[in-house]
Structure 1
């Protein structure tokens, strides 16, 4: 997505200023100003996310996550400008930057795994969307007959199993992708489903845990103190906090392998201008969504999935009690539910692809940024060796 005007201005200003000759004292003052402005921009973006809630950007909807990832990408671009552009490489082998940059690189590696997991999770949700579309097509036909209801019931049962499945170790394809486990429905395209499951999980060992990755990312996330708070350790802390929150929210919202033990919160400083919005977002996810549905180990907190599960459950009740001809009042009720399911499918169809592209863009950005950090550390080693 295109950068905002103030982001372009910020990046240009840093690039121009670092090409100018200035005193050491001026450099330090300018660096402090850049760090402060970076934090202000982060605060603005988080505040915007915390205040979203209109129909086009419902909290924890696909649209909201697109806004979150857009904010992440903008923050990452500004962070790299503050930390890396025309930076003296030797600073990266001196404390505290040597330590915090190494920790950042480690977080990036774990975030790459999360990005891969979310990419596959989006594919999984897209598959669920296709199943829901079969239900919509079946129940939109009029009059509603036994054949349509039987077909819809079979797919609805399969879909509910998938949405509410516990993604712990996924020991067998039968367990996760077998249709007809609820009621008397027969297997629906079982072989194809097993192939889809193997595709979605081929990159991850059974021992891999999304919850443990998030725990590890947050384990050494500590606010800089004293002199470190006025140096480059601060933007590293800011960007790390945004990264951990973004990955944590994605794992909570989408079906990921082994989410049991996913932290309900991670430590965030309370005295910085950007942290109040981040704390507010955490509280909203934990208080309003997490405890309400207890979806940590199942389909996820994604708004569209929550609504899809509710509609699917109601439609299953209709199909199980169906007798031809259906009562007119019941038909109208089903029409409304099918229309809602159709709308959910439409939103998914329009937004899942772009969201997946953003996740991939974050993946590539993190790879490049980590590589640039490693290059700077290597250059610093050469410079130090040459001067000795």
Structure 2
């Protein structure tokens, strides 16, 4: 199922349930034959509200996690079972007009929940494929240093002085620091310059010249390396696919 279809199906399903039989009952219970029915329906709706309020009250770190989705599905299953019991025990009342029409509309809308289930199942299959790829990485001896390197890069990106940076490259950080130092130095300049201030500005200029030289000397080779890596990946992938598709030849 395409991603847009999944989102549309999910949105339509939950909006359909929102405008379901549950919204009709408070206006219909006054016509019931027995106060027990009133109490039963109110109790059912309160249980539904409590379950989903608990799910909505979780921290943002837990929201949409695998465990949270599992709790959401458990709550939905419990609500479905309890709703089935309510319908079974109040057949006479629910078969009357207009409740019979509301019940029919509710079950028609519940079909849309099947689209949500299909979308979740497709997502689980994709995650399983990723899991298989991760297992390939984790079983090799080079997995530990690569994961460690990845964690170090992530840790570096989360540092406070890197959040507003233009990139993670060391030279970019040095350029930003040099520019900041130059701005601070020139903002407080008063002419004529004294020897201390003149020496400070000259040192900032020398620092900026060193950074500029490192960038100038390193960018072209880096660009060539990136281009080489790009085409190496393309060739390796093409050769690998050709090798696996070609039948074995015995000389």
TM over 0.5: no
Sort the TM-score into its range (normalised by shorter chain): 0.3 to 0.5
**Structure with the larger helix share:** 2
Which of structures 1 and 2 has the larger relative contact order (alpha carbons within 8 angstroms, sep 6+)?
Answer: 1
TM-score, scaled relative to structure 2? 0.42
